[in-house]
Amino acid sequence: MPDQTPPLQDASDAALSPLPRAPALAFVAAETDDARSARDRLHARYRGVPPEEADIVVALGGDGFLLETLHDTLSLRVPVYGMNRGSVGFLLNDFGEDGLSDRVCRAQRVALHPLRMRATTAAGERSGLAFNEVSLLRETRQAAKLRISVDGVVRLPELTCDGALVSTPAGSTAYNLSAHGPILPLGAGILALTPISAFRPRRWRGALLPHDARITFEVMEGDKRPVSAVADFTEVRDVLRVEVYEDRSIASTLLFDPEMNLEERILKEQFQP
């Protein structure tokens, strides 16, 4: 299947353009009563517009729904301001109905560049984007065997594991952290390559790679040990080879209240007991 996500030229500049004083707001919500009720009240109060006409899209839900919104609004090139109407809410601002126009205008901006996944199967190639991580996962009871190359050089000839993932800084506190990967500061310019339940080499804990690295996974014994690849919401089963790299031609902007900025949250997460 051909790549269906066109590159966005000068994406970072477009994402960071100035906001009008009274921005037009669009409200989208997760499929929960709490989120939908909040959306309806805010839409009426702030005269919400369709996302295609908005200066800012306000997403109401949890972290998963915020990721969906980032994907859905990529072609619109509008900032996304999330408010927590879900469970975790690490990427979201606190919910509040008062003074929303002022809040979004004062918000700090973070430009995110997603990972591009190119997965090869016996049927051809598929592509996907991930703002959090690209993960490879075993499909059966048997462990996966992966060969890992970075920029065309084989760095790990054989990794026996449940899987492996490549994480962005914004996603480093999600699945990557659960797999005992490192938390990455936003401005570090690095990606985390993290094994999932590594069996051999047992002591390998992963690697930190420059953001422009190209990581290639080759699936060994794929007929016996099938592997799937997942980029946020795109899953490809029975992969033979997966290439992952940061796509700098694409950017999406997240907005955070100054007291809830993402860099501070990531820093605090590293000192949690």
In the chain, where are the structural domains located?
Answer: 11-113+251-269, 115-246
**pTM given for the model:** 0.86
Q: What is the 3-state secondary structure (H, E, C) of 98-139?
A: CCHHHHHHHCEEEEECCEEEEEEECCEEEEEEECCEEEEEEC
Q: What span, in angstroms and rounded, lies between the C-alpha atoms of 135 and 114?
A: 14
Q: Is the pLDDT of residue 2 over 60?
A: no
Q: What pLDDT, on the 0 to 100 scale, is given for residue 62?
A: 94
Q: What pLDDT, on the 0 to 100 scale, is given for residue 246?
A: 97
Catalytic residue numbers? 63
Please give the CATH topology (third level) of the domain spanning 115-246.
Tumour Suppressor Smad4 (2.60.200)
Tell me whether residue 64 is annotated as binding: yes
Residue 168 gets which letter from DSSP?
A: -
Q: Dump pLDDT digits (tens) for 222-272.
A: 999 999 999 999 999 999 999 999 999 999 999 999 987 888 888 888 887
Tell me whether residue 162 is annotated as binding: yes
What mean pLDDT is predicted for residues 111-127?
96
Tell me whether residue 245 is annotated as binding: no
What mean pLDDT is predicted for residues 32-60?
97
Q: In 3-state terms, what secondary structure has residue 162?
A: coil
Is the domain spanning 11-113+251-269 CATH 2.40.110.10? The answer is no
Q: Is the pLDDT of residue 5 over 50?
A: no
Tell me whether residue 175 is annotated as binding: yes
Q: What pLDDT, on the 0 to 100 scale, is given for residue 266?
A: 85
Type and span of the H or E element at 208: strand 207-210
Q: Quote the mean pLDDT of the chain.
A: 91
